[in-house]
Amino acid sequence: MRKAKWVAAAAGVVLLVAGCGSEGGGTAKGGSSSAGSSATGGSGGSGGDERLTGTAVTKEITDAATGAGFTQDSSGEQIPAEAKDCMVSWTADGEKATNPAKSYTDTVATLTKGGWNEERSSGAAGSTIKSLKKSSWQLQASNHSAGPLKLVMFVAVDSSPACAAVIAEANAKAKTS
| Whole-Å CA distances, 29 to 24, 26, 120, 136 | 12, 9, 12, 16
Q: What is the mean pLDDT of residues 30-53?
A: 44
Lowest mean pLDDT among 34-48, 73-87, 108-122, 132-146: 34-48
Lowest mean pLDDT among 31-35, 59-63, 161-165: 31-35
Q: What is the mean pLDDT of residues 136-162?
A: 92
- 94-121 pLDDT, tens digit per residue, is 888 889 999 999 999 999 999 999 999 9
Let me know: does 84 contact 171? Beta carbons within 8 Å. Answer: no
What mean pLDDT, rounded, does the chain reach?
Answer: 77
Using the CB atoms, write b or e for 129-161: b if 16+ within 10 Å.
bbbbbbbbbbbbbbbbbeeeebbbbbbbbbbbe
Report pTM.
0.72
Reference 132, options 150, 108, 152, 151; nearest CA is: 108
